[in-house]
Structure 1
Amino acid sequence: MKKRQWQGDTKCSFCSELESAQHLFFGCSVAKIVWRTLGAVIGTSYVPKTIWQVYSWLYAFLPGFYEIYTVGLAAVCWSIWLARNRATFEKNFINTPFEIAFTTSAFLDYWAGMQKPEMADNVKKGAQLLKRSAAQMLRLCEPSRAEATEREENEGIWDEW
Structure 2
Amino acid sequence: MVRKNGEWDTTYRFCPEFETIHHLFFTCAAAHYTWSVVGLAIGANSRPSSFMQYFWWISNHIKINRNVQIVDLICYACSFLKYWAGLQAGADGDALLEGDRVLKEEAMKHHHAQAAVDVRRLEGKI
TM over 0.5: yes
For 2:79, give the aligned amino acid.
S
Give the secondary-structure state (helix, strand or coil) at the position aligned to 1:47. Answer: coil
Give the secondary-structure state (helix, strand or coil) at the position aligned to 2:26. Answer: helix
Q: Within 5 A, what are the aligned runs for 1:104-119?
A: none
Higher relative contact order (CA 8 A, sep 6+): 1
Aligned with 2:7 (options 5, 18, 21): 5
Matched, 1:77 2:77: yes
Report if the CA contact (8 A) 2:12-2:18 is conserved: yes
* TM-score, structure 1 normalization: 0.45
1:68 and 1:56 map into 2 onto residues whose CA distance is 14
* TM-score, structure 2 normalization: 0.56
Counterpart position of 1:50? 50
Structure 1 portions without partners, runs of 5+: 93-161
The number of equivalent residue pairs is: 89
Counterpart position of 1:104? none
2:48 and 2:89 map into 1 onto residues whose CA distance is 25
Counterpart position of 1:32? 32
Identity %: 26
Structure 1 residues 75 and 18, CA, compared in 2 at 3 Å: closer, same or farther? same
1:35 and 1:75 map into 2 onto residues whose CA distance is 15
Which protein has the larger Cα radius of gyration, Structure 1 or Structure 2? 1
2:19 and 2:89 map into 1 onto residues whose CA distance is 11
For 1:5, give the aligned amino acid.
E
1:56 and 1:28 map into 2 onto residues whose CA distance is 21
Structure 1 residues 85 and 15, CA, compared in 2 at 3 Å: closer, same or farther? farther
Report if the CA contact (8 A) 1:12-1:18 is conserved: yes
User: Which range moves more in the overlay, 40-49 or 70-79?
Assistant: 70-79
Aligned-pair Cα RMSD in Å:
2.9
Q: Flag the structure with higher strand content.
A: 2
For 2:91, give the aligned amino acid.
E
1:90 and 1:48 map into 2 onto residues whose CA distance is 31
Q: Displacement of 1:33 after TM fit?
A: 0.9
Structure 2 portions without partners, runs of 5+: 94-126
Counterpart position of 2:91? 90
Q: Flag the structure with higher helix content.
A: 1
